[in-house]
Structure 1
Amino acid sequence: MSFFKKKNKNDVKKETFMFPTIDENVLYFRDALYNTDDLKTRTIRFNGIPGVIIYLETIANSEELQRSLLIPLSQANTEQSIDTIITSSQFSKTSNMNIAVTTILKGNSVLFFEHGTEFYILNTLQLHSRSPEEPENEKIVRGSHEGFVGNLKINLNLIRMRIQNRCLKIEYVDLGWETNTQVAIVYLEEIANPELVDEIRKRIKSISSDMIFSPGYIEEFIEDKPLSPFQQILYTERPDRVEAHLVEGRIAIFSEGTSDVSIMPVSFFAFFQSPDDFNIRFYAGSVFRLLRFLSFWGAITLPSIYIAVISFHFELIPNDVITVVKSSIENIPFPPFIEALIMAVTIELIREAGIRLPSPIGQTIGIVGGLIIGESVVNAGLVSNVMVIVIALTAIMSFTIPSYEISNTARLLSLPIMIAAATLGFVGIIFCLMIIVIHLCKLESLGTPYLAPFAPLKIPNLKDSIVRFPIWMLNKRPKNIKPQKIIKQSRSREWDKNEK
């Protein structure tokens, strides 16, 4: 028996009265919340009458439930009524099933009895006192400054607080023979593509390993092309970013013990988007997003272009600059490729040292080390001034990319392109870029095109790709992930009759 085989927007507003039996009521709640795994029930007995307490464990406070209901019930006498026993500061009653479901989504617990006529609603919302510090690698100027932590229940609580929707579903899976790591698959039942959900569920449950303790372990088991240098799963520590992707129809994977949340499927362009893009004017947001996208390709090709120009295409240098370049490189004992390799390795060493050391020392190493080493190698005649500028600009470009994983990809891909530039000049660079673009066109993230909406071309979805159109024009969800609901907002700004 199922009460919610097909729902529309008006079904949840309809008044549905309480059923006479406990089993019917529990079944209704489970169907209304899509059998989410964090929906818990607890049976009790009062004056010989069986009852049930139902709540969402990810958002309800079990200690408050114990204090305000369970302990008073155990100490009550037969002459007392439930109204006088409940000690919750916020306590109400209703006979409407849909109101009861809505209150559960807000962190309340619902109590009802066999052949009862009303639900007893207790405020048991779980509040976590946590610092407002945002993730170090995903800082923004405006908007939310919350970040996930290493506790699965707290992370799911943050999502439940942001998306108070009955079709938000959570499925628990335990992975790892020895570690038994709890993993949660989170999605919106009425929006996410059921085929995608089934595919993710199948891939995750097929993982056979004795140890799973980080998203990186899960990623390599479930991604389409594990040997590709490009990231196919988006990681984030920001609740607002997960919220936006869930509402668009994507699926999020939470794991116990880590603050990273995996989002899938994603396109290549999702790695260059930032929550700041939607918190500032769309002109600025589009320019900054395009700048990040161009910085990725610049980080890959800039050292190679310099190597190709110096080694093969010197005639491209303007006459006014050729003297400066010539004087900079004429006494250098190494070819441009070796110069670039020395500086690239040096930058990577400084970067890794800055990450591993404590923050105050790491910042000092980055600044002092860069200045001292850069000045020293130039004075020693091992590297030219121009090469130091090129490598420094390349490093800055890689820092502008919001995704740490794609930044790593840019650093890795620059080496083979540098080798091709040192061997064939511009021909080698173009050849490598063609291979990269062809690979991106063939790549998929959970069966969806990686270069969508450009390949295949979906013109309406270009509004939120390498540039951002105004929010009131983004009326549809991305078609590449095939959500159940394409329209996400009605025609906006109809109040402005002068706007065409």
Structure 2
Amino acid sequence: MHFTDEIKERTINIQKQKLVIVYMDSMVDKQSLETNVIGPIIEAYSEQTFSKNGLQISIMSLIKSAEVKCSTNITDIVNGLRTGASILLVENDEATVIASVPTAEDRSIQEPENEKIIKGPRDGFTESLNKNIYLLQKRNKYENLVAKNFEVGEKSKTKISLLYMDDLVDRDVLSEVIHRIQKIKVERVQSSGELEELIEDRSFTIFPQVLTTERPDRANSYLLEGKVIIIVDGNPQILVLPITFISFYQSPDDYNNRWLVGSFFRLVRMLSFLIAISLPAIYISVVSFHSEILPIGLLYALRVQTEFIPLSPFLEAILMQIILEILKEAAIRLPSPIAQTIGVVGGLVIGTAIVEAGIVSNVMIVVIALTAIASFVAPVNQMGTGVRMLAFPIMFLANFFGFLGITVSLTMLLTHLCKLESFKKPYMYPIAPLDFKGIKDTFIRPKKKIHL
């Protein structure tokens, strides 16, 4: 380790020997260091003598820390410093005592901003690995919950924890996940998104093969389904795997409401996926190729609005989609009060001005607005972003081939989804391959039954 001003030391003279305590200033809880490490040692040895060979054992028995060990390995010592441990060096002794006294500066448990629900618990994961494991164990009283710890990144040494139910997990999936984690050979892993990219089956697809969530109740429900949970230290986003396409359109609200209400909104989300990827393409096809399918009144109104528009329907749609993405990115990056202003200004002022300028038609504004709203319906943001990207190639084919282009693109999309896998498990299960037993909790949320 290179010298840094973060490294502090304190020397204690006990009888005829020196005890040097080394720690990183920002990583150690100084009050805990004084109370649980330094204080007991000074108090115990202020009026006693000790033998050189028994010093480490004596010190280890005095330190009031949950993790204390003795080591001569320089890697253990450096890692201890970087993770909030104090290093105790004794004059003329090779062995070193490592006592963990990390600082407890963590964000408090709050409701996740990205996964709002109407009914249900309001706690969410934080950046603390131990606190996230606690949130899962608090909900899960089964004795079969297993946690395995790993380190990834040759330089970052990022801690990750893999959790699963020992009696429910698929052993083949578990072995595959562990194998992929152990194969990671990179210098650093900083976030769960980086880890996701390193272990997923296929990176060249817009469909995520790992689900991320900040909700402990949702993560625990997946544990009880036999799935594997990965927690990355320093990240509130928890990875769930293997996962299916349908899971991205399911929400905890489905199970917190009556089964009829939950089923209705689940079907609405499924419909929103089709609207988000195909509505602009359908508009382009109708205006450019298949206007005869419209009623005469609607066709006349549409012709009046588009007659003096200089851009083709395809360029109109591309332009408005790009403007929408720019506004969304601006709203995300700005502080909340300003972001709300940007949303209102972008939606009303720019939309109205661009129509009055004769660049796009009113109908196109309505189509793009419905498309955007439909893409935001997905409970998991990962899928919503991918759906908006997917609309571009479908619009391109619709511009040249009309409904035939839409049919071909949707067929290719369905084929791709059926071939996709998440940790060797079918991505479109239970639809492809078809499983009537597993399909009962797919489109319709089944009614809970009381067993007497």
TM-score, shorter chain, exceeding 0.5: yes
Aligned to 1:447: 424
CA 1:172–1:131: 2 relative to 1, 3 Å: closer
Rounded Cα–Cα distance in structure 2 between residues aligned with 1:366 and 1:317: 33
Instruction: Measure how far apart 1:263 and its partner are.
Output: 0.2
Aligned to 2:441: 464
Instruction: Measure how far apart 1:216 and its partner are.
Output: 1.4
TM, length-normalised to structure 1 = 0.69
Rounded Cα–Cα distance in structure 1 between residues aligned with 2:438 and 2:366: 38
Mapping of residues 381-460 of structure 1, within 5 Å: 381-460=358-437
1:154 aligns with one of 120, 131, 134: 131
Rounded Cα–Cα distance in structure 2 between residues aligned with 1:65 and 1:194: 43
Aligned to 1:279: 256
2:192 aligns with one of 202, 212, 215: 215
SS in 2 for 1:381: coil
Instruction: Measure how far apart 1:165 and its partner are.
Output: 2.2
Say if 1:183 and 1:254, in contact at 8 Å, map to a contact too.
yes
Say if 2:309 and 2:359, in contact at 8 Å, map to a contact too.
yes
SS in 2 for 1:243: helix
The letter of the residue matching 2:360 is: V
Aligned to 1:321: 298
CA 1:316–1:247: 2 relative to 1, 3 Å: same
1:76-109 Cα distance to aligned partner (Å, 9 max, x none): xxxxxxxxxxxxxxxxxxxxxxxxxxxxxxxxxx
Mapping of residues 471-486 of structure 1, within 5 Å: 471-472=448-449
State whether structure 2 residue 210 is matched by structure 1 residue 233.
yes
Rounded Cα–Cα distance in structure 1 between residues aligned with 2:354 and 2:334: 24
Instruction: Measure how far apart 1:229 and its partner are.
Output: 1.6
Mapping of residues 358-373 of structure 1, within 5 Å: 358-373=335-350
Rounded Cα–Cα distance in structure 1 between residues aligned with 2:334 and 2:228: 35
Say if 2:109 and 2:125, in contact at 8 Å, map to a contact too.
no
Aligned to 1:297: 274
Aligned to 1:377: 354
Rounded Cα–Cα distance in structure 2 between residues aligned with 1:193 and 1:326: 58
Rounded Cα–Cα distance in structure 1 between residues aligned with 2:226 and 2:451: 26
Rounded Cα–Cα distance in structure 1 between residues aligned with 2:433 and 2:334: 45
Rounded Cα–Cα distance in structure 2 between residues aligned with 1:405 and 1:135: 15
Instruction: Measure how far apart 1:272 and its partner are.
Output: 0.3
State whether structure 2 residue 242 is matched by structure 1 residue 265.
yes
Instruction: Measure how far apart 1:370 and its partner are.
Output: 1.3
The letter of the residue matching 1:250 is: K
Say if 1:128 and 1:154, in contact at 8 Å, map to a contact too.
no
1:102-161 Cα distance to aligned partner (Å, 9 max, x none): xxxxxxxxxxxxxxxxxxxxxxxxx99975531111000111111001111111111111
CA RMSD, 1 decimal: 2.4
Mapping of residues 57-72 of structure 1, within 5 Å: none
Rounded Cα–Cα distance in structure 1 between residues aligned with 2:179 and 2:190: 19
Instruction: Measure how far apart 1:471 and its partner are.
Output: 2.6
1:414-435 Cα distance to aligned partner (Å, 9 max, x none): 0000000001000001100000
Rounded Cα–Cα distance in structure 2 between residues aligned with 1:305 and 1:434: 15
Say if 2:107 and 2:127, in contact at 8 Å, map to a contact too.
no
Give the percent of matched residue pairs that are identical in Structure 1 and Structure 2.
Answer: 42
SS in 1 for 2:332: helix
SS in 2 for 1:364: helix
SS in 1 for 2:224: helix
TM, length-normalised to structure 2 = 0.76
Instruction: Measure how far apart 1:217 and its partner are.
Output: 1.1
| Structure 2 residues not aligned, in runs of 5+ | 1-31, 46-103
Rounded Cα–Cα distance in structure 2 between residues aligned with 1:191 and 1:451: 21
SS in 2 for 1:220: helix
Mapping of residues 239-254 of structure 1, within 5 Å: 239-254=216-231
Rounded Cα–Cα distance in structure 1 between residues aligned with 2:342 and 2:107: 31
Aligned to 1:308: 285
1:382-401 Cα distance to aligned partner (Å, 9 max, x none): 00000000000100001111
Aligned to 2:326: 349
Instruction: Measure how far apart 1:73 and its partner are.
Output: 12
1:336-358 Cα distance to aligned partner (Å, 9 max, x none): 00111111111111000000000
Aligned to 2:201: 224
Rounded Cα–Cα distance in structure 2 between residues aligned with 1:65 and 1:294: 59
CA 1:312–1:404: 2 relative to 1, 3 Å: same
